């Protein structure tokens, strides 16, 4: 017989993009399951943006002529037809920056903050990215977003294409291209789901997991599993005597830049002083993989979880660092945080594509992971005082600044003033 947790995983097995009706449907499914076990919860809406594309194209003009299917970057600059020389921007170095100046950049795969900063500083006039795996029989064409954190460095027209098309362009020596992007932007709502389990005092232990997915993915592993884990915590701890209160937050739009957790900490700044620890769950229960815990905190938490794993007979690698998920906005507000995950080994499971499927998961592993995390949360919730120092060490503050690109932004502001 399947557990309630695994049945919930199956119910959440559909595309749940941040800001869509499907994401809200998933939120209501989780809320209904909480209600069935006697727990009240509430939904908090926050603004996100979505785009409506009327036209997008990428055309090679020289030395051959071909039009490739493309998607527009949400939030990028519109253009009726930007034509220019093409530069394959392999990596950020002095040679590549000189070569890309005044040209349209074909960058390698995902457009990260460092790469976008490089091509804008080098005076590129547009950009092209690609997604997929050349060895797959089928690659979906992913929509992409030029997030606000990137737009602070500038804005350019940009499109995304399939990997096999990008490889064809490079192999055939495409030297001149034309980009067309016409889109409108509107605000819509995404949602956080919040459920409290009251303890004897006002100190709060926050547990987070995101329930949204990326386009073309049902997001079984990333992160229906984390959402189900939070439900498992709720079911296990709801009737137990707890010293500290537990707040469970299912975050929306994590895949779009941690938007749900960012919205929560901004809307609840007065609560931050009462939150002793954030426990985030992001991708567990895979058949193959290795368990990790990443602590954005004092090293004492690293040592504690390492010891706790040894005591429980639970193999887990623990480190100090910044994990790219909903724990980070809490750490940014001074709340110590840890993210738990089971990371798949190469070739045994994927995220952010149609290949994130429920068949790559194990109910047994999901139960084991959830049980360990639940035991840890219960120990923290019943500690005489939450033992993790309520401070973020300087080395972690520096890592958070780098993660958000604030050191880069500050430099850019200083350059503008100079």
Question: At 21, which CATH number?
Answer: 3.40.630.10
Tell me, yes or no, whether 10 and 74 share the same domain: no
Q: State which of 115, 140, 174 marks the end of a domain.
A: 174
- Residue 409 belongs to some domain of the structure: no
The residue count for the chain: 418
In terms of domains, do 31 and 72 share one?
no
- Whole-angstrom distance, CA of residue 58 vs CA of residue 178: 6
Give how far Cα 251 sits from Cα of 210, 267, 368, Å: 4, 13, 23
The answer on 23 and 73 residing in a single domain is: no
Report if residue 217 sits inside a domain.
Answer: yes
Token pair of 178 as six digits: 């034309």
Cα 332 to Cα 86, 114, 147, 261, 272: the distances in Å are 39, 20, 19, 11, 11
- 24 and 138 housed in the same domain: no
**Is the model's pLDDT at 126 over the cut of 70?**
yes
pLDDT value of residue 285: 97
> Can you give the pLDDT at residue 415?
56
Residue 406: pLDDT above 90?
A: no
Q: Same structural domain for residues 153 and 75?
A: yes
Residues 337 and 328: beta-carbon distance below 8 Å = yes
* 225 token code pair: 């599993």
Residue 274 lies in a domain: yes
57 in a domain, yes or no?
Answer: no
Domain boundary among 174, 199, 214: 174
How do strand 158-162 and strand 144-145 relate by DSSP bridges? unpaired
* DSSP designation for 203: E
In a domain, 417, yes or no: no
Distance in angstroms (rounded) separating the CA atoms of residues 257 and 289: 25
- Lowest mean pLDDT: which of 28-37, 155-164, 405-414? 405-414
Omega before 301 cis (within 30°)? no
- Judge if 150 and 200 occupy the same domain: no
Is 184 within a domain?
A: no
pLDDT value at 236 more than 80 = yes
pLDDT band at 416 (very low <50, low <70, confident <90, very high): low
At residue 405, the pLDDT reads: 87
Answer yes or no: do 262 and 368 share one domain.
yes
Task: Count the domains in the chain.
Answer: 2
Which residues, 6+ apart, have CB-to-CB distance to 21 below 8 Å? Answer: none
Note the pLDDT of residue 407.
72
Residues 111 and 154 sit within 8 Å (Cβ to Cβ):
no
DSSP 3-state of 366:
helix
CA-to-CA separations, 254 to 174, 209, 278, 324, 414, in angstroms, rounded: 36, 9, 16, 10, 31
Beta strand extents in 284-385 (DSSP E only): 290-296, 317-320, 337-343
Q: What is the CATH number of the domain that holds 94?
A: 3.50.30.30
Average pLDDT rounded to a whole number, residues 92-112: 96
Q: Where is the domain boundary, 174, 209, 233?
A: 174
Kindly state the percentage of the chain with pLDDT values over 70. Answer: 97
| b/e map 14-43, b = 16+ CB within 10 Å | bbbbbbbeebbebbebbbebbeeeebebeb
Q: Are residues 219 and 294 in the same domain?
A: yes
End-to-end CA distance of the chain: 68
- Residue 206 and residue 153 in one domain: no
* Residue range of the domain that includes 389: 4-49+189-403
Q: Give the burial string for 231-254 (b: 16+ CB within 10 Å, else e).
A: bbbbbebbeeebbbbbbbbbbbbb
* Residues ≥6 apart with Cβ < 8 Å to 28: none
Considering the domain boundaries, does residue 246 fall inside one? yes
Give yes or no: residues 363 and 220 share one domain: yes
Residue 215 in domain: yes
Q: Are residues 266 and 312 in the same domain?
A: yes
Mark whether 168 and 219 lie in a shared domain: no
Instruction: With cut-offs at 50, 70 and 90, classify the pLDDT of residue 203.
Output: very high
Please state the rounded mean pLDDT for residues 84-112. Answer: 96
For residues 65 and 319, give the distance between their C-alpha atoms in angstroms, rounded to a whole number. Answer: 51
């Amino acid at each position: 017989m399947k557990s309630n947790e695994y049945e919930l995983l199956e119910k959440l097995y559909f595309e749940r993009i941040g800001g869509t009706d499907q994401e809200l449907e998933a939120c209501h499914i989780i809320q209904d399951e909480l209600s069935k076990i006697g727990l009240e919860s509430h939904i908090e809406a926050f603004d996100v943006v979505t785009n409506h594309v009327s036209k997008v194209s990428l055309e090679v003009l020289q030395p051959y002529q071909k039009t490739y299917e493309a998607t527009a970057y949400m939030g990028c600059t519109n253009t009726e037809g930007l034509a220019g020389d093409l530069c394959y921007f392999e990596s950020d170095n002095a040679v590549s920056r000189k070569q890309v100046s005044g040209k349209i950049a074909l960058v390698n795969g995902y457009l990260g903050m460092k790469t976008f900063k490089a091509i804008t500083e080098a005076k590129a006039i547009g950009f092209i990215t690609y997604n997929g795996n050349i060895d797959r029989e089928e690659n979906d064409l992913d929509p992409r977003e030029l997030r606000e954190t990137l737009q602070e460095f500038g804005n350019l027209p940009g499109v995304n294409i399939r990997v096999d098309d990008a490889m064809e362009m490079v192999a055939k020596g495409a030297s001149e291209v034309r980009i067309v992007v016409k889109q409108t932007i509107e605000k819509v709502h995404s949602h956080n789901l919040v459920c409290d389990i009251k303890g004897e005092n006002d100190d709060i232990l926050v547990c987070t997991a995101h329930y949204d997915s990326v386009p073309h993915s049902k997001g079984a592993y990333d992160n229906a599993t984390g959402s189900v884990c939070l439900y498992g915590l709720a079911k296990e701890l709801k009737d137990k005597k707890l010293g500290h209160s537990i707040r469970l937050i299912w975050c929306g739009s994590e895949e779009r830049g941690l938007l749900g957790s960012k919205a929560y900490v901004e809307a609840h700044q007065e609560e931050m002083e009462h939150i002793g620890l954030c426990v985030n769950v992001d991708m567990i229960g895979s058949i193959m993989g290795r368990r990790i815990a990443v602590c954005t905190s004092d090293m004492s938490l690293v040592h504690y979880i390492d010891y706790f794993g040894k005591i429980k007979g639970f193999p887990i690698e623990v480190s100090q660092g910044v994990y790219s998920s909903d724990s980070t906005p809490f750490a940014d507000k001074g709340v110590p945080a840890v993210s738990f995950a089971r990371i798949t080994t190469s070739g045994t499971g994927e995220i952010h594509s149609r290949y994130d499927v429920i068949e790559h998961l194990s109910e047994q592993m999901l139960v084991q992971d959830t049980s360990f995390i639940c035991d840890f949360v219960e120990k923290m919730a019943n500690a005489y005082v939450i033992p993790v120092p309520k401070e973020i060490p300087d080395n972690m503050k520096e890592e958070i600044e780098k993660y958000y690109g604030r050191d880069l932004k500050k430099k850019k502001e200083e350059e503008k003033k100079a």
